[in-house]
A and B are shown apart, each in its own frame.
Chain A
Amino acid sequence: MVPDPNYICSVEKPEDFDSFWEDVTKTLGNIDIDISCVLDDFRSTEDISVYEVFFNSLDNIRVSGWYAVPSKYSGKLPGLMLVPGYQSDPPIPREWAKKGYACLSVNPRGKVRSRSQFDPGYPGLLTYGIVDRNTYSYRGFYCDAWRGIDFLLDRDEVDSERIAVTGSSQGGGLTITTAAMRKEVKAAAAGAPYLCGYMDAIELTHTYPYEEINDYLRSNPGSRKTVEDTLSYFDGISFADRIKCPIIVNIGLQDNVCPPETGYALFNQIGSKNKKLYEYDGHGHEAGRYIHSRIVDEFLEEHLGQE
């Protein structure tokens, strides 16, 4: 199966897309972030200090994260936000701190350590509240990631002019929305982006997690139009034209989770003039990670390396 690089997804950006998200971010901005950042001796090493982080997000949900910084540094550090996959547990980003970043690994609502107030489960998260854009799970989930940027901006050791975001799969999707919504993001690297072209993805592949939507549609006949309408506000492709920062995207042409067609469709809609797509033939959902991780390192170094 050879994916078409000119594939166009069916999603149409709603006319009130910007005003919808402006209202949401305004509501988010009115919530006191109330950061807690406590050194975790158990996870810290001689070279890396690890902190357990909590902050408030939309609906006053307490969101957790791991924050890792080099134990010794001079001047300000570049800030990096690492956003997680769908079902994976957010990692402690010691590897990124070793490379010289002040790195926040954010755990949006429903994930381990962030699930005491909201926990739709897995499977479940992808369709929770999907009948209404104002109740859909990702309304808050996206905000949790965006708030991670506020956390980095709050840190004295972080250079607010050098902040980037990266992740793969759902982390790729969150990278897209964060780069679109937070102008403080100076560079973004998105891998195998999920949450892009949802309604096409559920036809192009029949694997979880996208299969959750097919389960939902089968169980709720007649709901397709409502689901399409809601998802159009959350589709990464609807966010893409807002991205203005340098960005790289990598996709696997045999991706069995996030169809490469949706990756192409997303990339073609990205508004940044400084964008590059890396296509990995012979690779699945890991999207050439072994080769591509070096490219991400070099890309971030290029855009965040100089103080």
Chain B
Amino acid sequence: MSKNRPSDFGSFWYTVGKELAEIPVAPEVESIPMRSTDFADLYGVRLSSIGPYRLFGYLSIPKGEGPFPVIYYVPKNASVLEIIPQGTSNEIRSRYITFSLACRGMRNSDSPYAAMYPGQLTDGLESHETYVYRSIVADTVRGADYIMTRPEVDKNRVAAWGNDNAILAAALHDSITHIVSTPAYLFDPIESVSKTDSYPLAEFGDYIRSNPSNSDMARSILEYFNLRWHAQSITANTLIMADHEDGIYSTETLSDLKELIPSEITLHGSERSSFKDGLFAENWITSEMFGKEVSPIVPEHWR
């Protein structure tokens, strides 16, 4: 396991937060009638993050009287921005405000920086100042800033949903009340690289292999993003979706992360079925947001 929490970890992230606070969110909101339905309206939102840099997100608001709980789909390590994740029942938009954000480099937020996939995870890894993930985390936090400006939001029910960034969002933004996270590359990243040749973790392996003289620097930079060091800041109720027992981020590997998160936490090992895992997550979030007596809204073939 990694034991090298950077000595200036707190000041590093304080500086990012300060930099972000100096940039107005400056939202521009545009209706997207084509993706609006009888039960929800869809909007395209542009907002500013550090740089300043303009980002894009999809905001869906249920029809009717709020406030509504929120699912914030945090930026992914992939080029495509979805309104809601593929395979999610579109009807969840009748129950939740959903907000999906493209961090810089993803489609719709790719001007002037268009990231490659693979490629994004090691862009600028030469130094703390140039590593792109610092800005991507800022973008992720900025998404939470924006959500909290919306009058329709129930501020007691704001979930961050996605990969490692869901944990980072909650660690760095105290408005997040719930987390559904599937860690994929930022829990002890360097230690995990040696266990796999699969992307996205293999990106770090490619970098270290190709830049041996910079490998120590890369390792030290990645420690600022290691979920291990962010875990203690989490206050949100948390669901961690782990790999199956043979995977890199199995329940065994992530048991360390579970121990470090002080809030209420559930660690679910994959059942090697997107149906069973997906249903587990939908049941969890519904129970957390609405109580055990309310059924989740799931796709037809999961009923």
Residues of A within 8 A of B (CB): 1, 3, 41-43, 45, 86-89, 91-92, 94-95, 98, 111-113, 121-123, 204-209, 211, 215-216, 218-219, 252-257, 259-260, 282-286, 288-291
B92 vs chain A, min Cβ distance (A):
10
Taking a contact as CB atoms under 8 Å apart, the answer to whether B79 and A207 are in contact is no
* Residue B18 CB within 8 A of the other chain: no
Taking a contact as CB atoms under 8 Å apart, the answer to whether A112 and B79 are in contact is yes
Cross-interface CB contact of B206 among A42, A284, A286, A289, cutoff 8 Å:
A42
Taking a contact as CB atoms under 8 Å apart, the answer to whether A254 and B302 are in contact is yes
- B106-159 contacts to A, CB under 8 A, are 107-108, 116-118
Taking a contact as CB atoms under 8 Å apart, the answer to whether B301 and A208 are in contact is no
Taking a contact as CB atoms under 8 Å apart, the answer to whether B86 and A87 are in contact is yes
* Residue B81 CB within 8 A of the other chain: yes
Q: Given A112-B116, A282-B273, is A87 in contact with B209 using a C-beta cutoff of 8 Å?
A: no
Taking a contact as CB atoms under 8 Å apart, the answer to whether A91 and B199 are in contact is yes
Whose C-beta in chain B lies nearest to the C-beta of A206?
B90
How far, in angstroms, from A254 to B298 measured CA to CA in the complex?
11
Taking a contact as CB atoms under 8 Å apart, the answer to whether A211 and B274 are in contact is no
Q: Given A86-B86, A215-B34, is A112 in contact with B117 using a C-beta cutoff of 8 Å?
A: yes
Taking a contact as CB atoms under 8 Å apart, the answer to whether B275 and A89 are in contact is no
* Residue B265 CB within 8 A of the other chain: no
Kindly count the residue-residue contacts between A and B in the assembled complex, taking CB atoms under 8 Å apart. Answer: 127
5 nearest A-B pairs in the assembled complex, by CB-CB distance: A284-B275, A256-B299, A284-B274, A254-B275, A89-B117
Which secondary structure dominates where chain B touches chain A?
loop
Q: Given A211-B90, A259-B301, is A87 in contact with B82 using a C-beta cutoff of 8 Å?
A: yes
A-contact 0/1 string along B82-98, CB 8 Å cutoff: 11101111110000000
Q: Given A122-B80, A123-B35, A206-B299, is A286 in contact with B273 using a C-beta cutoff of 8 Å?
A: yes
Which range holds the interface residue count of chain B?
35 or more
* Residue B11 CB within 8 A of the other chain: no
Which residues of chain B are near A122, meaning CB under 8 Å?
80-82, 107
Q: Given A42-B210, A256-B275, A283-B275, is A208 in contact with B299 using a C-beta cutoff of 8 Å?
A: no
How far, in angstroms, from A87 to B84 measured CA to CA in the complex?
12
Cross-interface CB contact of B301 among A45, A209, A256, A290, cutoff 8 Å:
A256
21 A–B pairs (Cβ distance < 8 Å), ordered by A:
A3-B301, A91-B199, A92-B118, A95-B197, A123-B82, A207-B86, A208-B82, A208-B86, A208-B90, A209-B86, A218-B34, A252-B274, A255-B301, A282-B276, A283-B273, A283-B275, A284-B276, A284-B278, A285-B86, A290-B244, A290-B272
Taking a contact as CB atoms under 8 Å apart, the answer to whether B199 and A92 are in contact is yes
* Residue B33 CB within 8 A of the other chain: yes
Whose C-beta in chain A lies nearest to the C-beta of B299?
A256
* Residue B300 CB within 8 A of the other chain: yes
Identify the interface centre among B82, B86, B298: most chain A CB within 10 Å of its CB: B86
Taking a contact as CB atoms under 8 Å apart, the answer to whether B273 and A284 are in contact is yes
* Residue B198 CB within 8 A of the other chain: yes
